[in-house]
Amino acid sequence: MTMTSATDTAPAATGTVAGSAAVGLPRRSWVEHVMGLPISVHVRGDAATSAGVERAVCTLYESLRQVDERFSPYRPDSEVSAIRRGEPPTSSAELLEIRALCAQARRRTDGAFDAELPGGFDPSGLVKGWAVERATGPLREAAAGSDWLVNAGGDILLHAEPGRSWQVGVEDPGNLSHTLRTFALSHGAIATSGDARRGAHITDPSTGRPAFSGVLSATAIAPTLLWADVYATAAYVRGLASLPWLVRERGVRVLFVRTDGSRVSTLSRPKARS
């Protein structure tokens, strides 16, 4: 596989680990570009240098490449492109699953997430999280007993053993070399949606035009990357108007950064009621 190294020295990125539990553990990371995105894998613990983990990481990248070939709307020979051209859809189990999940996502976000865009069927906003979840299966097994995370273009699926966590910084959309908040996560996923890096690329399905809802970015924490990604996108499209359906989702937490720089977040973890 092709490894990418980088020598950037952004201020908040020392890579050290908070708390003593994870200090001194062996760790290793991989980076490869798939679907036009940098996909990095980090493993921390005894499994970091194992041959099994190495194989699982190779499998992960291969799995993502296959998903890209089959479901990218930018590849003319993909199953999604066939649908966009009006051809009868393939009956592959994966495509049926993706379409069912897209329908479910539309319901659960009150239409803020919708793969049926004016320009045609585009499930990209859901397929990435779905693909990463699937591709990570072998890594989960090979890295059992160790910590791992997969960062797919800023959207992260992770696991840490009891007593340990990954420190996940959320990018400040007003200053991309800074983080505005750090979450210590031991399980689940976190995804951020915004136009800070790519310009207006997120479409409001209700208008077909670039979304603008008064927020610079929306970050969602959820048990799975698929739903973290969907909720982050939908929350960005609708802004604070998405709160009524966001707050129904147990285990989902969303952080908004508004255009004036202020932050609004929902908390999913109940505190003790008194």
Partner 1 sequence: VRRLTLWFVSTLSALVLLFSYHTSTGGSVDTRTAALAPASPGNTSSTSPSSGSSSGSFTGSSVDTRWGPVQVEITVENSRITDVQAVVYPAGNRRDEEINAYALPLLHDEVIQAQSAEVDTISGATVTSDGYLTSLQSAIDAAHLGG
Q: Does 47 bind partner 1 (CB under 8 A)?
A: no
Stretches 3-11, 60-68, 77-85, 89-97: which one binds partner 1 (CB under 8 A)? 3-11
- Match 């990095």 to its residue by tokens: 40
Q: Does 51 bind partner 1 (CB under 8 A)?
A: no
One of 123, 129, 154, 205 touching partner 1 (CB under 8 A) = 154
CB of 85 to partner 1, least distance (A): 26
In whole angstroms, what is the distance from residue 162 CA to residue 101 CA?
31
Q: Does 20 bind partner 1 (CB under 8 A)?
A: no
Nearer to partner 1, 205 or 227 (CB): 227
Binding positions for partner 1, 107-146, rule CB under 8 A:
108
Q: Does 17 bind partner 1 (CB under 8 A)?
A: yes
Q: How far is CA 3 from CA 18, 150, 171, in A?
A: 27, 15, 24
CB of 93 to partner 1, least distance (A): 19
One of 74, 140, 177, 210 touching partner 1 (CB under 8 A) = 177
x/- binding map, residues 232-261, to partner 1, per CB under 8 A? --------xx-xx--xxxxxxx----x-x-
Strand ranges in 138-214 using DSSP code E only, listed in sequence order: 147-152, 155-159, 166-172, 175-185, 187-194
Stretches 60-68, 82-90, 131-139, 217-225: which one binds partner 1 (CB under 8 A)? 217-225
Tokens read off for 91:
């009956």
Q: Partners of 27 in the beta sheet?
A: 44
Give per-residue burial for 218-227: e unless 16+ CB within 10 Å, then b: bbbbbebbbb
Tokens read off for 245:
């359906």
Size of the site for partner 1 (CB under 8 A): 103
Tokens read off for 89:
């859809």
Tokens read off for 92:
């592959």
Q: Does 272 bind partner 1 (CB under 8 A)?
A: yes
